[in-house]
Amino acid sequence: MKPFILLFGSVLLLTGCTDRSTPVIDSYQGNFEIVGEEKSQMVQNVSEQLFETSDRSNDNASNIEEFLEHDEDRTTISVNSGRYKLVPNGSGNVYVSDENNDIIFSGVLGSRYGVPTMTLDIQDTDNILFDGLASLSIQPVETEMKTELGAGIWHVGKDIQAGTYEISSPEGLGYVHIYDLNEEPEVYELLTNEMSSNTITINLEKGEVVKVQKLPVILLNPVES
C-alpha cells in the first residue's frame, strides 16, 4: 500500500498548487495584464515626454537617411520636431531618448526578431541612437485615426478614437503599454503563434498614450457598449 499512499499524497500536493491564486496570476488570467515586479521593470525610467506630441502638420519635419560609417559601431542624430516613421536598412537597435537621456522608445528594427518600423513623435531636443543598421530612414508621417497600429507610440484622441477595443496581433509576442498622467501604467501581453493566440480588452480614454512594443502590428476591434 505504500506506493499508493505516496501517489495519493502527490496528487493532493499538485491539486493544492493549482488552487493557489495571486494578484499576478489573476490579472494575467483575467486579461493578460502584467503586474507586480515584472511590470515595474518594464515601465521604469520612461520619459515623461511620452505624453507630448509634436506639431502634427510636420511643416518643419526632417526627411533624412543616416548611414552608419564603416568605422562606427553606432551613431546618434537629431531631427526637427515632428511625427516620424523609422525604417531600417538591415537589422539593429534603435533608441530614442529625451534631453535627459530618459528613453522614450527603443527596440530592434529589422530581422525576424525585430519590427519593420517604429512610429512616434520626436522633438528637436531628442536623440536617436542606432547600431547594427546599414542606415536608418527617418520619414515624416501624416496623422490619421487608425485601428491598425505598428510598433511605436500612439495618442488617444489624435491617432486612436477613444473607446473600448478588443485588441489582437496577427503574429509575434509583445506588449501593449497604456499610460495615463493620473494613473499607474498598465501593461498587457499579446501572443500569436501556430499553437495559440490571445486578445485583450481595453478601454482607451482621450489623453492616454498607447505604446506598442515588440509587435509589428496590433488590430483594434471596437466593442459596442
**What residues make up the domain containing 216?**
42-222
Given a cut of 90, whether residue 139 has pLDDT beyond it is: yes
**pLDDT value at position 71?**
65
Q: How many domains does the chain have?
A: 1
In a domain? residue 1 = no
In a domain? residue 114 = yes
In a domain? residue 152 = yes
**pLDDT value at position 6?**
35
Total-model pTM: 0.85
pLDDT grade for 65, boundaries at 50, 70 and 90: very high
In a domain? residue 12 = no
30-34, 84-88, 138-142: the lowest-pLDDT one: 30-34
In a domain? residue 4 = no
Share of the chain above pLDDT 70, in %: 86
In a domain? residue 71 = yes
In a domain? residue 28 = no
User: What is the three-state SS of the chain?
Assistant: CHHHHHHHHHHHHHHHHHHCCCHHHHHHHHHCEECHHHHHHHHCCECHHHHCCCCCCCCCCCCEEEECCCCCCEEEECCCCEEEEEEEEEEEEEEEECCCCCEEEEEEECCCCCECCEEEEECCCCEEEEEEEEEEEEEECCCCCCCEECCEEEEECCCECCEEEEEECCCEEEEEEEEECCEEEEEEEEEECCCCECCEEEEECCCCEEEEECCCCEEEEECCC
In a domain? residue 16 = no
- Give tens-digit pLDDT for 94-117: 999 999 999 999 999 998 889 999
Given a cut of 80, whether residue 15 has pLDDT beyond it is: no
